[in-house]
Structure 1
Amino acid sequence: MLQYTIRRFISVIPVMFIVSVIVFLLVHLTPGNPAYLILGEDSSQESIKQLEQQLGLDKPIVVQFFDWIKNILTGDLGQSIYSSEPVTQVIFDRFGPTFSLMLLSLIFILVISIPIAIFVVAMRKTILDPIFLTISLLGVSIPEFWFAILLVLAFGVTFPIFPVAGYAPIAEGVFSWLYYLILPAFVLAAVEVGLIARMLRDGMLESINQDYTRTVRAKGVRESTVLMKHVFANALIPTTTVVGTAVAGLLGGTVIIETLFTIPGIGQLLIDSIYRRDYPVIQGVVLIISAIYVLINLLVDLLYAFLDPRIRYD
């Protein structure tokens, strides 16, 4: 287990290097001059050249890339061109709202999808099963931004129950924190709920008529116990994979949702930095999101051994 974990961590290094190359090239090959955006339209060519030299933008792109990689290895993601603050500090300041949004979305996903899947399996011979399949397919197909706009119109305009913009940190009170995050978190979770519930339902249906479940029933065990203790437990492996991918995907979804609901998180920071051509911040945010995605997939793989004792990484 330890050797496997070490190998997986080592395999992350080339993946992150490739990601860093792609991110750097995409950011630096797009049109737009940060120095020009900072100084404004009335700035002279001399002042622009001077600021480019100060920011290191006058160096060849290869030199800029290896300077950036060298700084990353020391834990330095650079300095924001827009605010002159360290990129790590800028990202850390915005991480709280994003983490809160992801946490509440994950709670919604698990609390909604797992009971629905178990209930549908228990009622598998009724009309509820095809109805669930239709609704889950519809939920996966609906674009996040469109669903968000519908909820904003419904619960923010027509029936003004929830705020449609802003964020309250949990330090100001749990109620205020939830009040601002319920709507965006539900939007972020809605797409994943259908997928995870469908995956769990399929996994349970695959296990429900296996020989071991027939043996358990033959011993007189109640159907509810068979579903929860045997069928549900065996369906957790494929479902865990989907949940892990969904959690990592929530980071990408926050870019859209935070922009729509004006939440000052990492997603909103990324959009603002793109408009400002703030190269160091863009690179730092995308790199950290990629690293979190890779680490979540690694944790999911390691979690398999705890969910199923038969799995061993030797």
Structure 2
Amino acid sequence: MLQYTVRRLVSIIPVMLIVSVIVFLIVHLTPGNPAYLILGEDSSPEAIEQLEAQLGLDKPMVMQFFDWIKNIFTGDLGQSIYSSEPVTQVIMERVGPTFSLMMMSMALTLLIAIPTAIFVVWRRNTVLDPLFTSASLVGASIPEFWFAMLLVLGLGVAIPIFPVAGYVPIAEGFFTWFYHLILPAFVLAAVEIGLIARMLRDGMLEAVNQDYTKTARAKGVKESIVLMKHVFSNALIPTTTVIGVTVAGLLGGTVIIETIFTIPGIGQLLIDSIHRRDYPVIQGVVLFIAAIYVVINLLVDLLYAFLDPRIRYD
């Protein structure tokens, strides 16, 4: 297990290097001059050239890339062109709202998807089965931005039950924090509930008629115990993979949701930085999201060994 973990950690380096190359090229080949945006339309060409020299934008692109890579290996993601603050500090200031939104969304997803899947398997071969299939497909197909706008108009404007903008830290009160995040968290969760519930339900249906479950029933074990102890535990392996991908994918979903609900998280930071052509922040945020994605995939692979003792990585 230790050797496998070390190998996977080492393999992260080339993955992040490839991501950094792609991000750098996309950012720097996109039309737009940060110096021009900072100084404004009335700025002189001499002033723009001087600011470009101060920001290091006058260097050849290859030299800018190698300077950035060299700084990354020393833990320095550079400084924001817009605020002159270290990129690492800017990202860390926005991590709280994004991770709060992700955790609440994931909690809602699991609290709804897992009991729903278990109940549908328990009531299999009834009218619930096609209803569940249709509902899960609809949920997985709903565009997040469209669903978010519907909830904003319905529960924030027409019937003002929930706030539709802003963020309150959990330090100012749990219920206030929960109240401000429940609507955007539900939007993120709605798309993932159908996917996870469908995967868990399919895995349980595959295991429900296996020989070991028939043996348990023949011994007089109650159906509820068979479902939870034998069927549910064996369906966790493929479902864990989907959950891991979902957790990582929520970071991408927050870009849209944070913009709609004006949550000052990493997603909102990325959108603002794109508008400002803040190259270091864009590169740092994308690299941070990629690192979280890779680490979560590694944790999911390691979790397999705990869920199924038959899995060995030696």
Query: Given the two structures, how large is their TM-score scaled by the length of structure 1?
Result: 1.00
Structure 2 counterparts to residues 1-314 of structure 1, below 5 A? 1-314=1-314
| 1:159 shift after superposition | 1.0
Paired with 1:149 and 1:212, the residues of 2 have a C-alpha distance of 48
The count of corresponding residues between Structure 1 and Structure 2 is 314
- Secondary structure, in 3 states, of the residue corresponding to 2:6? helix
For 1:228, give the aligned amino acid.
Answer: M
Cα shift at 1:81: 0.2
Distance in 2 (alpha carbons) for counterparts of 1:13 and 1:192 = 30
Per-residue Cα deviation, 1:76-121 (whole angstroms, up to 9, x for no partner)? 0000000000000000001100010000001001100000000000
Q: CA deviation at 1:256?
A: 0.1
Query: What is the alpha-carbon distance in structure 1 between the residues aligned to residue 153 and residue 123 of structure 2?
Result: 35
Instruction: State the alpha-carbon separation in 2 of the partners of residues 149 and 38 from structure 1.
Output: 32
Deviation above 6 Å: which 4+ runs of structure 1?
none
Consecutive unaligned residues in structure 1, runs of 5 or more: none
Tell me the secondary structure at the aligned position of residue 83 of structure 1.
coil
Q: Which amino acid aligns with 2:205?
A: L
Please give the alpha-carbon distance, in whole angstroms, between the structure 1 residues aligned to 2:150 and 2:114.
Answer: 25
1:282 Cα deviation (Å)?
0.1
Q: Distance in 1 between matches of 2:120 and 2:149?
A: 29
Write the distance in 2 (CA, Å) between the matches of 1:10 and 1:109.
32
Work out the CA distance in 2 between the residues paired with 1:232 and 1:81.
Answer: 51
RMSD: 0.4
Deviation (angstroms), 1:252: 0.0
State the 1:125 CA deviation: 1.6
Any idea what SS the aligned residue of 1:130 has? helix
Question: Equivalents in 2 of 1:72, 1:128: separation in Å?
Answer: 53
Alpha-carbon distance, 1:157 to partner = 1.1
**Which digits, 9 at most, give the CA deviation of each residue in 1:182-201, with x for residues without a partner?**
00000011100000000000
User: C-alpha separation between the residues in 1 aligned to 2:246 and 2:21?
Assistant: 25
Once residues 151 and 72 of structure 2 are traced to their aligned partners in structure 1, the CA distance between those partners, rounded to angstroms, is 41
1:180 aligned partner, one-letter code: H
User: 1:154-191, CA deviations, whole angstroms, 9 ceiling, x for partnerless residues?
Assistant: 11011110001111010110011011100000001110
Q: In structure 1, how many angstroms separate the alpha carbons of the residues matched to 2:197 and 2:207?
A: 16
In 2, distance between residues paired with 1:184 and 1:8?
Answer: 34
Q: How far apart, CA to CA, are the structure 2 residues paired with 1:154 and 1:243? A: 29
Paired amino acid for 2:111 = V
Matched residues in 1 for 2:184 and 2:232: separation?
Answer: 30
- 1: CA distance, partners of 2:122 / 2:92: 45
Between the aligned partners of 1:101 and 1:53, the Cα distance in structure 2 is 39
SS of corresponding position for 1:217 = helix
Looking at structure 2, the residues matched to 56 and 153 of structure 1 have their Cα atoms a distance apart, in angstroms, of 45
SS in 2 for 1:77: coil
Post-superposition offset of 1:66 = 0.3
Moved more, 65-74 or 154-163: 154-163
Which residue identity is paired with 1:6? V
CA distance in 2, matches of 1:48, 1:157: 45
